[in-house]
Amino acid sequence: MTGGFLSVPIMRPNHCWTILHVSILAMLLLTLNADSEDSKCEVEIRVRRNTVYEAFLGDDLRINCTVLFCNNSPPATYWYKLEKTNVNVNVSGSSHIKTEWKTLNHVEGISYLIFQNILTNDSGVYRCRSGHSVSHSINISVDGEDSKCEVEITVRRNTVYEAFLGDDLGIHCTVLFCNNSPPTISWYKLEKTNVPVNVSGSSHIKTEWKTLNHVEGISYLIFQNILTSDSGVYYCRSGHSVSHSINVSVDGEDSKCEVEIRVRRNTVYEAFLGDDLRINCTVLFCNNSPPTISWYKLEKTNVNVNVSGSSHIKTEWKTLNHVEGISYLIFQNILTSDSGVYYCQSGHSVGHSINVSVDVGERDDEHTNVTQKNSTSDFELTTVTWTTSEPESSTIQHTVWLYRVVGIMVFVIIVIIICVASKSGCKGVCCAGESRNTPDPSCQPSHDAWSTIHIYENDH
């Protein structure tokens, strides 16, 4: 008898559930590690305690903070100055303070605060900051006083400039300044009262500035075509700083600078009715400023020439150089009424008279009609027709007779050539006087003449 056994189910491991459990545990471990790493990835700023920078007024200075970061992403770093309250340092485009970043590697870099031409008021305590991380204090000490930074103008005592009338002259002041900011320089002339020099756009006097370096420059006062009235004593000024006097002496007289008009005596222009004519005056002037020229016509009274837009008379100016030019009076399609005496004037200077004469005679063009017909037997030359004015009729008449004689001679020569050609059509006298249409057979050579040849021998 066999005994019975109870069947008990056997538990076998499920691989899918095992893999799932292991994955969940791994993800939890990674998450914990990541959280622990993120907590270690706070930005860290390193600056030594009691860091001090010393600089002289006007120097360039840079201070720095070393920054440690993670995730290969440099953080934003800000600079502050410790005053009554912590204020951001002004690093705008108009400021003399700039910031700069330098990456050392994927987890470290340096933030710089740069002072260009440092000022005494830049002295103080600075810190840099990124997120919740703040650096130790950085002390900046600037050696120097603003009183030393006053603008200083240097001009030698008893400075004298000499120039000739019409020359270009430049006088100058050397200027020392600070903060890399050139000051405003004003020029004055010592007269009854100190008045600023007129350097407007319409003046012949200009100013110019030239920077030599960050603390020195030169201010120029430039005279273009200097006048005798420019003689005098000048000085330049900026704030409370005033230069020594500068004496300017101009050699020449204004009387030499009067406008001079040059026109030859007894100048005469002749034109035909309807021509374009221009007359001119040569003008000498000074100060590089061409004068105003007026044109007049001498009649019962001296009247201005009408050069309005509706008139056929115009004026024109041509500059030859800085002291000479030409004024033109231009007649377009001149009229007989334009005949007369003209002159040009500028101020007290008047040119000599210019006589304009307009010839009223009419001029007609010559017209020639020639017709030529060629044939085997004739040549025809038509009559030549001339239309001309009365003063030229005698000359034209001789020319007509000459053409007629030449035409007759050509006609006779052609007739002779035709006759000779017609008579030389046949060779020999047998064709003389015979008609071309009835040739004489006896005149034609025989074809048998060459075929039969008789040779006679003398027996004796």
**Residue 375: pLDDT above 60?**
no
Q: Is 316 found in the same domain as 330?
A: yes
Give all strands (DSSP E) within 146-266, no chain letters: 152-154, 159-164, 169-176, 186-190, 194-196, 205-213, 216-223, 232-238, 241-242, 246-251, 260-262
**50 by DSSP, 3-state: which?**
coil
Residue with tokens 């008379």: 313
Q: How many CB atoms lie within 10 A of CB 354?
A: 22
Type and span of the H or E element at 16? helix 15-40
- In three-state secondary structure terms, 77 is coil
**Do 111 and 176 fall into the same domain?**
no
Tell me the torsion sign for CA atoms 134, 138, 139, 144. negative
Residue 228 has pLDDT above 60, yes or no: yes
Same domain membership, residue 243 and residue 160: yes
Domain membership flag for residue 130? yes
Residue 98 lies in a domain: yes
Q: How many residues does the chain have?
A: 460
Please identify, among 222, 252, 282, the residue that sits at the C-terminal boundary of a domain. 252
User: Distance between CA 355 and CA 460 in Å, rounded?
Assistant: 117
Partners of 161 in beta bridges: 248
Residue 211 lies in domain: 150-252
Residue 397 lies in a domain: no
Residue 385 lies in a domain: no
DSSP letter assigned to residue 144? -
Domain boundary among 144, 172, 202: 144
**Same structural domain for residues 237 and 269?**
no
**Same domain as 353, residue 312:** yes
Exposure string for 201-236, b = 16+ CB within 10 A, e = fewer: eeebbeeeeeeeebbebebbbbbbbbbbebeeebbb
Looking at the structure, do residues 278 and 202 belong to the same domain, yes or no? no
Domain annotation covers residue 57:
yes
Residues 139 and 177 in one domain: no
- The residue that leads in pLDDT, 447 or 151, is 151
Residue 107 maps to which CATH number? Answer: 2.60.40.10
Final residue before a domain boundary, out of 144, 160, 176: 144
Mean pLDDT, residues 81-102: 80
Is residue 438 situated within a structural domain?
no
pLDDT in tens, 28-55: 555 545 444 445 678 999 999 999 999 9
289 in the same domain as 214: no
Domain count for the chain, please give it. Answer: 3
pLDDT at 200: 76
Residue with tokens 């005596």: 265
- State pLDDT tens for residues 439-455: 554 444 444 444 444 44
Whole-number Å distance between alpha carbons of 77 and 113: 11
